[in-house]
A = this chain, B = another copy of it.
Amino acid sequence: METILPKFDSVFSIDCVIFGFDEGELKILLIERNVEPFKDWWALPGYLVEENESLDHAAERILYELTGLRDIFMDQFYTFGDVDRHPQGRVVTVAYYAMLRLNGPKELKPVTTYAKNAVWYPINDLPKLAFDHSKIFERGFLKIRNKITYQPIAFELLPEKFTLTQLQHLYEVILNKSLDKRNFRKKMLNYGILKELDEKQKGVSYRAAKLYKFDRRKYAKLFQKELTFGK
């Protein structure tokens, strides 16, 4: 690096793949763009990083501006930097994913005007996306699919109290295959990160299932230690 940094017109952005689970479907949050380029196209929520904010801060801010949500577990997963990925110049984008608990689909109100709309879209029925956002989504989806095989991150997507069947459905949707009920339960309960509640499902027209909660404390203990290789 030279004593004076050579510069060219360039800028960073953040794009977010925000997963939600609703009515048995895995969804992501899309916005309908209100400005060129790709006006009227669907796109991942994303925006430019400001001069005086870190990437992580920008990711939080953008998610907040789009959803009103804070303190969401977000993770950077890849940076996309092809020369021509943005038609108006050199924009390198850092992609984050987040998993959100949907408490109802009402509350999506973009604060900014560059989006007309923010909508949850089932991942099996996505429209064509602006820029290279389809690629970014694919990679983000791959990321959570891999991650969930060794770390039970899925609970971020569920309501606070959930049944084992709901949890299993979520796994099945993410992994795109069906799982054995007994083995699944055994495995999940063996992790020791589920707290059985003294409460049952309500409002169902069949036998109500027991409700569980995730025990974040135990979860953190279990999964922040390094993976081992054996002796």
Which residues of A approach B to under 8 Å, CB–CB? 1-13, 35-37, 47-49, 51-56, 76, 78-83, 86, 88-92, 94, 114, 145-146, 148-150, 171, 175, 177-180, 183, 226-231
17 example contacts (A-B, Cβ-Cβ < 8 A) are as follows A1-B114, A2-B35, A5-B9, A5-B11, A6-B11, A8-B11, A10-B11, A12-B12, A49-B81, A53-B83, A55-B82, A76-B78, A81-B94, A177-B229, A178-B231, A180-B230, A183-B230
Number of copies: 2
By a CB distance below 8 angstroms, the chain B residues around A86 are 1, 5
By a CB distance below 8 angstroms, the chain B residues around A7 are 9-11, 89
How far, in Å, is A51 (CB) from chain B's closest CB? 4
How far, in Å, is A57 (CB) from chain B's closest CB? 9
Q: Which residue of the partner chain, among B48, B53, B149, B227, contacts A229 with CB atoms under 8 Å?
A: B149
How far, in Å, is A119 (CB) from chain B's closest CB? 19
How far, in Å, is A93 (CB) from chain B's closest CB? 10
By a CB distance below 8 angstroms, the chain B residues around A56 are 81
A183, B5: Cα distance in complex, Å = 53
Q: Which residue of the partner chain, among B13, B146, B149, contacts A1 with CB atoms under 8 Å?
A: B13
Residues A231 and B183 in contact, CB atoms below 8 Å apart: yes
In the complex, residue of chain B having the shortest beta-carbon distance to the beta carbon of A47: B1
How far, in Å, is A228 (CB) from chain B's closest CB? 7
Q: When A5-B11, A89-B5, A92-B12 are in contact, do A179 and B230 touch as well, CB less than 8 Å?
A: yes
By a CB distance below 8 angstroms, the chain B residues around A89 are 5, 7
In the complex, residue of chain B having the shortest beta-carbon distance to the beta carbon of A187: B230
By a CB distance below 8 angstroms, the chain B residues around A37 are 1
3 tightest Cβ-Cβ pairs between the two chains A and B = A55-B81, A79-B79, A8-B51
How far, in Å, is A4 (CB) from chain B's closest CB? 7
